[in-house]
Amino acid sequence: MCPKKHTIMMQQTPATNKNVTLLVIVAALGYFVDIYDLLIFSIVRVESLRDIGIAEQDMRHLGEYVMNMQMAGLLLGGLLWGIIGDRFGRIKVLFGSILLYSIANVANGFVQDIHSYAIIRFIAGIGLAGELGAGITLVSETMSREKRGYGTMVVAVIGVLGAVAANIVHGMFAWRTAYFVGGGLGFMLLLLRVGTFESGMYESVLSKNVQKGNIAMLFKDRKRLFKYLHCIAIGLPLWYIVGILIALSPEFGKALNATGPIAAGQAIMFAYIGISAGDVLAGLLAQITKSRRLVILVFTLMSVGTSVFYLNSYGISPASFSTLAFVMGLGVGYWATFVTIASEQFGTNLRATVTTTVPNFVRGALIPITLLFEYFVRLTNLITAAYIMLAIVVGIALFSLSRLKETFSKDLDYVEE
225 pLDDT above the threshold of 50: yes
Q: 119 or 263, which is more confident?
A: 119
3 pLDDT above the threshold of 60: no
Confidence of residue 199 (pLDDT cuts 50, 70, 90): low
Residue 217, helix vs strand vs coil: helix
Topology, domain 15-192+217-411? Growth Hormone; Chain: A; (1.20.1250)
Confidence of residue 296 (pLDDT cuts 50, 70, 90): very high
Q: For residue 1, what pLDDT is reported?
A: 42
Q: For residue 197, what pLDDT is reported?
A: 67
Residue type, 98: I
The number of beta carbons lying within 10 Å of the beta carbon of residue 61 is 10
Residues in the chain: 417
Q: For residue 86, what pLDDT is reported?
A: 84
211 pLDDT above the threshold of 50: yes
Q: For residue 393, what pLDDT is reported?
A: 97
Please give the Cα distance from 41 to 378 (Å, whole number). 25
DSSP state of 245: I
Please give the Cα distance from 276 to 264 (Å, whole number). 18
Angle between helices 162-172 and 14-51 (to 10 degrees): 40
Please give the Cα distance from 25 to 11 (Å, whole number). 21
The reply to whether the predicted model has a pTM over 0.85 is: no
3-class DSSP string for 290-311: CCHHHHHHHHHHHHHHHHHHHH
Please give the Cα distance from 359 to 133 (Å, whole number). 8
Mean residue pLDDT across the chain: 87
4 pLDDT above the threshold of 80: no
DSSP state of 203: H
> Which strand (E) or helix (H) includes residue 212?
none
Instruction: Report yes or no: 1 and 414 within 8 Å, Cβ to Cβ.
Output: no
Q: For residue 15, what pLDDT is reported?
A: 40
Encode pLDDT of 269-295 as tens digits.
899 889 888 988 998 999 899 999 999
Encode pLDDT of 382-417 as tens digits.
999 999 999 999 999 999 999 999 988 888 877 777
345-384 burial: b if 16+ Cβ within 10 Å, else e: bbbbbbbbbbbbbbbbbbbbbbbebbeebeebbeeeebee
Instruction: Report yes or no: 331 and 195 within 8 Å, Cβ to Cβ.
Output: no
Encode pLDDT of 308-337 as tens digits.
999 999 999 999 999 999 999 999 989 888
Encode pLDDT of 43-64 as tens digits.
898 899 999 999 888 887 898 8
Residue type, 104: A
Please give the Cα distance from 133 to 125 (Å, whole number). 14
Mean pLDDT across 361-377: 90
Counting DSSP H helices and E strands in the chain, the numbers are 20, 2
Encode pLDDT of 13-42 as tens digits.
334 566 778 788 888 888 898 889 888 998
Degrees, nearest 5: CA angle 339-385-299: 30
Encode pLDDT of 63-114 as tens digits.
889 988 998 898 899 889 988 888 888 888 888 998 999 999 999 999 999 9
Q: For residue 12, what pLDDT is reported?
A: 40
Mean pLDDT across 124-146: 84
- Strand locations in 25-141 (E): none
Sequence ranges of the domains in the chain: 15-192+217-411
CA–centroid distance for 76 within its chain: 15
